[in-house]
Amino acid sequence: MKTWNKRTKAVHAGIRRSQYNEVSEAIYLTQGFVYDTAEDAEARFIQAGEDEFIYARYGNPTVAMFEDRIAALEGAEEGFATASGMAAVNGALTAMLRAGDHVVSARALFGSCLYILEEVLTRFGVNVTFVDGTDLAQWEAAIRPDTKAVFFESVSNPTLEVIDIAAVSTMAHAVGATVIVDNVFATPVFSDAIAQGADVVVYSATKHIDGQGRALGGVILGTKEFIRGTVEPYMKHTGGSMSPFTAWMMLKGLETIDLRVRAQAASAQVLADGLAADGVLSNVIYPGLPSHPQAALALAQMGVGGTVLSIDAGTQAAAFKLLNALDIWTISNNLGDAKSIATHPATTTHQRLPDETKIRLGITPGLIRLSVGLEDAGDLLADLRAAIATL
């Protein structure tokens, strides 16, 4: 399996067949498992074997299939599936940190990630230093001999800053810090984060892995030692595990993820090129555009610009007018979905942030995040152009 390419792994890796030899992965919709004898129960609680399960909060065959498949796809030794992307971010950080530890994090983060780093970790005595993630000098200055972990989104939500995984990892590893990357925007298809230096990769499976807006989920990926030794004990006792039904949906999502996200990224490039060439909007942000400050890094790191672009309509009133004029695009706050979704971060996903923080992060009043779906790219561009023309 190690020699298989990602597309093959996405379809076949991790499969566990029952005695019926079903083709499609079985859904083991059970919270518990029966032991033949009291001695068997005792033995399993002392040390459960590879295919032995105890309780669905600890593990379940359908969830294990998903964990093994996504780990194979990412090139990680192991994975732990979680109830949501935030359970994964929180689990990866809190499982390994304790009071007095120091963490360096990029400042440009998804609102809930920022909440964990700024509010939750600090409440338990973890010291967090925030840096501008694209400025390597700031990482260099902030990482100290006692830094335990660094955290960043490889492509930030919603301003699409691209962070140099290899360069930050080299600095972190020099002091023995663990590199935790929230890799949602890179997707497991375009990611090579572990080869580039990341120790731990976290996904919200809610996004491209499901890809059809059906369920919340997440996963923490890393070495066997980190996942089994650090993450699993924390997650299985604190309750953020993925449900078997969700795992089955995510397994099915992985079967088509390669085709979907390549089509979505190709359309995103068409839209970014088209809107940038029109020259009507004050700003078109897309890592696949030559005008993006980290365009070369994005291409080296992911090979593509990704499935999301952001545009600036100028003012909140103009952004709302544009959103309300859209016909095909859905106003919502998910991303990675088959349906193209337009989001106004300043008033929704990042509403909680003080105005000055929004401005510092580039979340301007006119900013609109566009998650490109699977519709025809020409239709999507025509819809956007018609909406922009109303301004």
Ligand X SMILES: *Cc1c(COP(=O)(O)O)cnc(C)c1O
- Binding of ligand X at residue 206 (CB under 6 A)? yes
User: Phi, psi (5° rounding) for residue 260?
Assistant: -65, -55
Does residue 113 interact with ligand X by CB under 6 A?
A: yes
By CB under 6 A, tell whether 118 contacts ligand X: no
| 105-113, 126-134, 296-304, 380-388 -> range binding ligand X (CB under 6 A) | 105-113
Q: Site map for ligand X, 169-188, x if CB under 6 A?
A: -------------x-x----
343 binds ligand X (CB under 6 A): no
Q: Does residue 289 bind ligand X (CB under 6 A)?
A: no
Instruction: Report how far apart, in Å, the C-alpha atoms of 309 and of each of 63, 141, 155 are.
Output: 32, 31, 11
> Which residue of 59, 61, 79, 85 would you call a contact of ligand X, by CB under 6 A?
85
Residue of this chain nearest to ligand X (CB atom): 85
306 binds ligand X (CB under 6 A): no
Question: Does 110 engage in binding with ligand X (CB under 6 A)?
Answer: yes
Answer for which of 89, 180, 346, 368 binds ligand X (CB under 6 A) is: 89
Q: Where are the beta strands (DSSP E) in the chain?
A: 78-82, 102-106, 127-131, 147-153, 178-182, 200-204, 218-222, 283-285, 308-312, 330-331, 341-343, 367-371
Query: Whose Cβ is closer to ligand X: residue 10's or residue 163's?
Result: 163
Cβ neighbours, 10 Å, residue 31: 11
Contact 41, 74 (CB under 8 A): no
> Is residue 250 close enough to count as binding ligand X by CB under 6 A?
no
Residue 275: alpha-carbon gap to chain centroid: 26
Asked if 105 is part of the footprint of ligand X (rule: CB under 6 A), the reply reads no
Q: DSSP letters of 269-290?
A: HHHHHHHHHHT-SSEEE-TTST
In single-letter form, the type of residue at position 116 comes to I
Binding mask 124-163 for ligand X (x = CB under 6 A): -----------------------------x---x------
Task: Count residues binding ligand X (CB under 6 A).
Answer: 16
Residues 82 and 173: their CA atoms lie apart, in Å, by: 27
- The widest CA-to-CA distance across the chain, in whole angstroms, is 73
Applying CB under 6 A, the span of 16-24, 123-131, 202-210, 279-287 interacting with ligand X comes to 202-210
In the complex, the smallest distance separating the C-beta of residue 228 from ligand X, rounded to whole angstroms, is 23
192 near ligand X (CB under 6 A): no
Nearest Cα to Cα of residue 67 among 244, 185, 191: 244
Residue 296 CB neighbours (<10 A): 12
- Residue 249 engages ligand X in binding (rule: CB under 6 A): no
- Is there a contact between 168 and 199 (Cβ–Cβ < 8 Å)? no
Element holding 377 (H helix, E strand): helix 377-389
Q: By CB under 6 A, is residue 219 in contact with ligand X? A: no
Site residues for ligand X per CB under 6 A: 84-86, 89, 110, 112-113, 153, 157, 182, 184, 204, 206-207, 216, 218
